[in-house]
């Protein structure tokens, strides 16, 4: 017998937190701590941040993809993927989600995050696209504008997605972004779009919230 839908507990809310400029290491440590201690009642969360300059290397990252650090810190982290760069002017959104209780598979979770990025860019008339076998969002001309990398532990995700808004792009030339030699990286400002980081991060939260609510999630509550 199927339970009466009216008697099912409401799913925990998805909370949105804009945290501003945050160092990478303590943010990563906070994500891991929340993931390790969360319970069935822990709300799913989106954290929006900017980071000071830092290169992060994924679990399978190959050292040859770092061409020259130029005094930018390099952090070996536990997300998927290769090397990427974070810096001021980039909207980073971390997704701390219990996908197991929502019956989402990892691949479809990635696809839904990418769809939220595509919808976000479309608000500024930017045509973001997927490339097969290359997580993240690209432009029709081939440049990357958004990088994505997740960690899944006990059915829960952390890490997330970065959208390049208006940043110094030179450090991307010091790496093979996401492990692809010669891959060019652009930001929204390069396309003539004027937006600030919090505005773009909040737009992503709204777009992901719409996907969340239509796929069995609860409401999004800004904090």
Model pTM?
0.91
Mean pLDDT of 121-144: 95
pLDDT confidence of residue 223: 39
Over residues 22-45, the pLDDT tens digits come to 999 999 999 999 999 999 889 999
pLDDT confidence of residue 65: 94
pLDDT confidence of residue 10: 53
Mean pLDDT of 91-110: 94
Mean pLDDT of 133-155: 95
Per-residue pLDDT at 7 exceeds 80: no
Closest alpha carbon to 114 in 138, 98, 97: 138
Mean pLDDT of 117-132: 97
156 is catalytic: no
Residue 11 per-residue DSSP state: P
Per-residue pLDDT at 220 exceeds 90: no
> Up-side HSE of residue 93: CA atoms within 13 Å toward CB?
31
Share of the chain above pLDDT 70, in %: 91
pLDDT confidence of residue 218: 47
Per-residue pLDDT at 115 exceeds 70: yes
Rounded Cα distance, 96 and 78, in Å: 14
List, as residue ranges, the binding site for substrate. 79-86, 147-149, 160-162
Between the CA of residue 94 and those of 15, 71, 91, 125, 131, what are the distances in Å? 12, 25, 10, 24, 22
pLDDT confidence of residue 132: 87
Cβ atoms of residues 1 and 207 within 8 Å: no
Per-residue pLDDT at 171 exceeds 60: yes
Catalytic site residue from 165, 178, 188, 200? 178
Model confidence at 222, in pLDDT bands (50, 70, 90)? Answer: very low
Domains of the chain: 12-215 (3.30.930.10)
List, as residue ranges, the binding site. 79-86, 147-149, 160-162
């Amino acid at each position: 017998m199927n339970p009466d839908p009216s008697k099912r507990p409401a799913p925990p809310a998805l909370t949105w937190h804009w945290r501003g400029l945050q160092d990478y290491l303590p943010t990563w440590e906070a994500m891991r701590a929340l993931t390790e201690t969360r319970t069935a009642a822990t709300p799913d969360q989106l954290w929006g941040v900017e980071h000071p300059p830092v290169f992060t290397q994924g679990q399978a990252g190959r050292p040859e993809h770092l061409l020259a650090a130029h005094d930018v810190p390099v952090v070996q982290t536990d997300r998927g993927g290769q090397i990427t760069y974070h810096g001021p002017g980039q909207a980073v959104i971390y997704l701390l989600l219990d996908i197991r209780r929502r019956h989402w598979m990892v691949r479809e979770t990635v696809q839904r995050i990418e769809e939220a990025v595509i919808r976000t860019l479309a608000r500024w008339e930017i045509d973001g696209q997927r490339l097969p076998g290359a997580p993240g969002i690209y432009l029709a001309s081939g440049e990357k504008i958004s990088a994505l990398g997740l960690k899944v532990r006990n059915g829960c995700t952390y890490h997330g997605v970065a959208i390049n808004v208006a940043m110094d792009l030179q450090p991307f030339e010091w790496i093979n972004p996401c492990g692809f030699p010669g891959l060019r990286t652009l930001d929204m400002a390069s396309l003539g779009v004027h937006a600030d980081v919090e505005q773009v991060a909040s737009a992503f939260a709204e777009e992901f919230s719409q996907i969340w609510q239509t796929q069995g999630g609860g409401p999004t509550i800004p904090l």
